[in-house]
Amino acid sequence: MQKNSITGWQFCFLTLQTQMGMSALSMPSLIANKAGQDAWISMILGGLIVQVIILMYMWLIVRCKNSSYFDFLAIVFGKVIGKFLLLLTILYIIFIMILVTASYQQLITDWINIYTPGWIIVLLLLIPSLYLSIDSISLIARFSMLISFLIPVLLIVVLFVYAEPQFFYLLPIGSEGLDSIIKGVIPAIAALSGFEMILFTSHFLKGNKLAGLKKGMIGSGLVTLIYIYLIISVQIFFYIDELKIVPYPVLYIMKALSLMIIDRIDILFLTFWIIISTAVCVNYLFVAGISMQSLFNLQAHRHMIMVTITSIMIFIGSIFIDSKIEITEIQNQLFEVGVGLVVLIPFLTLIFSLITKRLGNN
C-alpha cells in the first residue's frame, strides 16, 4: 500500500523532471525560429495555456475518483472505443520516448562521444531506466526528487550570462508582431510536454487529491519559470540571428565559460544531464507499463514484462529513426501532433463523462 502511493511533493517533482528532461537544452532556438526575439513572450503564453490544460486535467481526475485515467477511458467510452483511445495514448508515449532517446543519442554523438556508436548511447540510457522503472511508483518519485539538485546547477551555470547582459537584444518588445508570437506558442507548449504525467500518475496520489494536484501544477509552473529564465538568458547572450542557427544554445553558453580547474563545463554538464534524461525515460517507461497493463487487463506482476518489451521497442525504434530520418525535422511536427493527442483525448473524455454522467470507481 505504502509502496504504491506518492506524496504531493513527490508528485510535483515527478511532473517537473518529466518536463525538464524533454527539451530544456534545445528549446530556446526552436521557439526563436518561430517567434524571433519575442520567444520569451511565447513561452509565457505557452506556460499559461499549459496551466489551463492542467486545470482541465484536474476536473477530469476528480471525475476519475480512484480509477486510473487509462481505466477511466474504458468506463466512459465503453470497451472498444476506450481501448482504441488507450492504444493511441500508448503509441504516443512510445513515440515520445523514441524521440527523447534518439535526440539524446544524437546530442551525445554530436557533442562528446563522436566515435561511440549511437546504439550504445541508447543502451546506456535505457538500461538504468529499465532497472528503475520495473519497480514501484514511490521509488521512481524518490528518484525524481533526488536528482532535482541538478536543476539549480543548470540555473547557476547559466547565471554567468548576466556578467555582460545585452538586454537590448530583447528590445523593442513585441516587434515581431502578434502573429509570430502566437506561432511560437505551439513549439513552446511542445517544449513543455511532459505535463501529461499529471494525468497518468494522479491515481497514485495519497491523501487529499486536490492538494496533491495543486503541487503538480506548481511543478509545471516551476518548469515554465525555469524555461522563461533560460530563454531570456540565451536571448541576452546570442543575437537573434545567431540563436536561430545554434542548436543547443545553453550548451554553447557553457562552452564559452572556462573555470580554473575545468575547461569545458558543457561536457561535464551534459554527462550529468543523462541523469535527467534517464528520469524522463523512467517515468514514461513506467507509465507505458501501467497503461499496457490496463490495455491487456494484466495482473500487476506483469508490469516488469511490459516495461521490458516497451524498452526493446524503443531501442529498435530509436536506432531506426537515427539511420533513416533527420530527427530535428520531424521532432517538432510529431511533438505537436502528440501534444494535440494528450489534450484532445482527455478533453473528449471529460465532455463525454459530463454528458453520460459516468464516474470512476471508488
Partner 1 sequence: MKKDQKRFKQLQLIKDCNNFNELIEQIDYSSGNTDDLTTVVLDYMDKQTVMLYYESLIDSQKQSNLLEWMSEMFWKTEELPDTLDVKQQGPNLSIAAAINILLSGETLIVFNDGDTWTITSIKSLKVFQRSLQEPKNEQIVRGSHTGFNENLIVNLNLVRSRLKSPHLVIKYFTIGSYSNTKGALIYLNDIADPMHVEEFMMRLQAIDIDLAFSVGYIEEFIEDSNYSPFPQFLNTEKPERTAGNLIEGRIAFILDGSPTALLAPVNFFSFYQSPDDYNGRFLVGTFYRLLRIASFLIALLLPAIYIATISYHFEIIPEDLTLPAKRAVENIPYPPLVEALILELTIELIREAGVRLPNPIGQTIGIVGGLVIGDAVVNAGFISNLMVIVVALTAISSFVVPSVEMNTTVRILRFPFMLLASLFGFIGVAAGLIILLVHLIKLESLTSPYLSPLAPFHLSGIKDTFIRLPASKLRTRAADAQPIKKNRYGRNRWWKHAKK
SS3 track for the chain: CHHHCECHHHHHHHHHHHHHHHHCCCHHHHHHHHHHHHHHHHHHHHHHHHHHHHHHHHHHHHHHCCCCHHHHHHHHHCHHHHHHHHHHHHHHHHHHHHHHHHHHHHHHHHHCCCCCCHHHHHHHHHHHHHHHHCCCHHHHHHHHHHHHHHHHHHHHHHHHHHHCCCHHHHCCCCCCHHHHHHHHHHHHHHHCCCCCHHHHHHHHECCCHHHHHHHHHHHHHHHHHHHHHHHHHHHCCCCHHHHHHCCCHHHHHHHHCCCCCCCCHHHHHHHHHHHHHHHHHHHHHHHHHHHHHHHHCCCHHHHHHHHHHHHHHHHHHHHHHHHHCCHHHHHHHHHHHHHHHHHHHHHHHHHHHHHHCCCCCC
Q: How far is the CB of 357 from partner 1 (least distance, A)?
A: 39
Q: How far is the CB of 272 from partner 1 (least distance, A)?
A: 6
Our CB check for partner 1 shows the closer of 239 and 272 to be 272
Q: How far is the CB of 120 from partner 1 (least distance, A)?
A: 7
Our CB check for partner 1 shows the closer of 34 and 303 to be 303
Looking from the CA of 314 toward its CB, the CA atoms found within 13 Å total 36
Q: How far is the CB of 96 from partner 1 (least distance, A)?
A: 20
Our CB check for partner 1 shows the closer of 124 and 327 to be 124
Q: How far is the CB of 270 from partner 1 (least distance, A)?
A: 8
Our CB check for partner 1 shows the closer of 120 and 225 to be 120
Q: How far is the CB of 132 from partner 1 (least distance, A)?
A: 4
Our CB check for partner 1 shows the closer of 155 and 262 to be 262
Our CB check for partner 1 shows the closer of 47 and 289 to be 289
Four-residue CA torsion sign, 55, 278, 24, 94: negative
C-alpha cell at 239: 543575437
Contact 70, 294 (CB under 8 A): yes
Short-list 151, 189, 204, CA closest to 336? 189
- Distance (Å, rounded) from C-alpha 72 to C-alpha 359? 8
- Distance (Å, rounded) from C-alpha 349 to C-alpha 338? 17
Q: How far is the CB of 275 from partner 1 (least distance, A)?
A: 6
Q: How far is the CB of 285 from partner 1 (least distance, A)?
A: 13
Q: How far is the CB of 9 from partner 1 (least distance, A)?
A: 8
Our CB check for partner 1 shows the closer of 232 and 270 to be 270
Our CB check for partner 1 shows the closer of 182 and 268 to be 268
In the complex, the residues that contact partner 1 under the rule CB under 8 A are: 9-10, 108, 112-113, 116, 120-121, 124-125, 127-128, 131-132, 135, 138-139, 142-143, 145-147, 258-264, 267-268, 271-272, 274-275, 278
Our CB check for partner 1 shows the closer of 128 and 165 to be 128
